[in-house]
Amino acid sequence: MSIQWYPGHMTVARRETAKTMAASDVVVEVLDARMPEASSNPIITELRLTCQRPCLKVLNKADLADPTVTQSWLEQFSQEPGVATVAISCTHSGQAAKVPKLCQPLAPHRNSPTKPLRMFITGIPNVGKSTLMNMLLKRRLAKVGDQPAVTKVQQRHALNQSMTIIDSPGLLWPKIEDPNVGLLLATIYAISAKVVVDEEIAEFLATILLARYPALLTTRYGFATKELEAADVLDAIALKRGCLRKGKGGELDREKASRILLNDYRQGTLGRTSLETPFV
């Protein structure tokens, strides 16, 4: 499955991203800690290299990711020139404050009311950009929500006398060539559910969970995973949760089971997992 999905507001977002980046000092690229590579937008990388802007890669939602794997990602990203990295969770108060502290040394000449440090928060949809801005401002100025494309326009705010922050709409790239990346992004709901079928995403997720975190499935749903395949996982969830298709003679409702698995995964109810590792 390669995903070709580029709604009109994304074209505008791309143009705006280029413009705002040129007028910023540090690019704060928010990634999903559970898949920092798949959630890196090649357009943002290309633009920041062209504009020669330093970048802070924020591995957000670290509370949902496997801490050992997150540490390996931080080590890998810190090797990149002009890049600093940090893993945070915006649901834990105080962690967002690390962001401006790490941005300042990336543009030390910008530190006064006449030359404020301009931090541009960007990234793919639903990774927590607006939540990060709200946490920094300690006010709910931007709307947030667990779905893509909540933010429609950029917002600029003064953080203090010598720092400004800009929140921006999520940005994807026009054609996601690698089917794995498409499915990973659908798993964290960076791509709209209208574009991908839940059952396909859930089966993809089940494959990874079976390989890396089978115990989490057993703990959550109460079935043994030995010798199960991904499709069996959905059947097992349907059985355990009594998901049956109406008027179909007791046939299992795999679609409903898929939604249960995806919701549990997205909300972190299943436990802490990383779907991508830097070792492979």
Ligand X SMILES: Nc1nc2c(ncn2[C@@H]2O[C@H](COP(=O)(O)OP(=O)(O)OP(=O)(O)O)[C@@H](O)[C@H]2O)c(=O)[nH]1
- Determine, following the binding rule CB under 6 A, whether residue 130 of this chain makes contact with ligand X: yes
Nearer residue to ligand X within complex by CB, 40 or 225:
40
Nearer residue to ligand X within complex by CB, 17 or 225:
17
Cα 214 from chain centroid?
A: 23
List the single partner that 174 binds among ligand X, Mg ion, none, CB under 5 to 8 Å by kind: none
Q: Round to whole Å and give the CA distance between 76 and 97.
A: 23
Nearer residue to ligand X within complex by CB, 61 or 254:
61
Half-sphere exposure of 21 (CA within 13 A, CB side): 24
Nearer residue to ligand X within complex by CB, 196 or 243:
196
Q: Round to whole Å and give the CA distance between 169 and 148.
A: 9
Terminal alpha carbon distance of the chain: 21
Give the footprint of ligand X on residues 154-183 (CB under 6 A): 169-170
List the single partner that 40 binds among Mg ion, ligand X, none, CB under 5 to 8 Å by kind: none
CB of 174 to ligand X, least distance (A): 17
Element (H, E) at 31: strand 26-32
**Interacting residue with ligand X among 20, 128, 204, 262 (CB under 6 A):** 128
Residue 72 CB partners (closer than 8 Å, separation 6+): 277, 278, 279
Give the footprint of ligand X on residues 76-105 (CB under 6 A): 89-91
Element (H, E) at 263: helix 254-267
Positions touching ligand X (CB under 6 A) are 60-61, 63-64, 89-91, 125-131, 144-146, 148-151, 169-170, 268
